[in-house]
Amino acid sequence: MSFLPDDALARHPIYDQVRQVLTNPQLAEAAGPVARGFAWFIWANSRGVKISQRNIPIIGNKGRR
């Protein structure tokens, strides 16, 4: 859970970059799978999502575990 209010988090430069990676397909392709996974983790953590192994997106071509 984030300690920052949503408006403060929305103005944070890292969160802005995360939003761009998650919403822009060309930027996401250029960023690579690890950056996309890290962006998802930051986004989910800021939303208060309980991170568990079952809802972590697959990075690369590892397939289901």
**pLDDT-derived band at 61, boundaries 50, 70, 90:** low
> What percent of the chain lies above the pLDDT cut of 90?
0
Which carries the bigger pLDDT value, residue 64 or residue 37? 37
* Reported pTM: 0.48
The residues spanned by each domain of the chain are: 6-55
* pLDDT of the residue at 54: 62
* Backbone dihedral angles phi then psi of residue 57, each to the nearest 5 degrees: -65, 150
What is the per-residue pLDDT for 10?
58
pLDDT of residue 55: 58
HSE-up (13 A, CA, CB side) for residue 11: 4
Instruction: Specify the pLDDT at position 1.
Output: 43
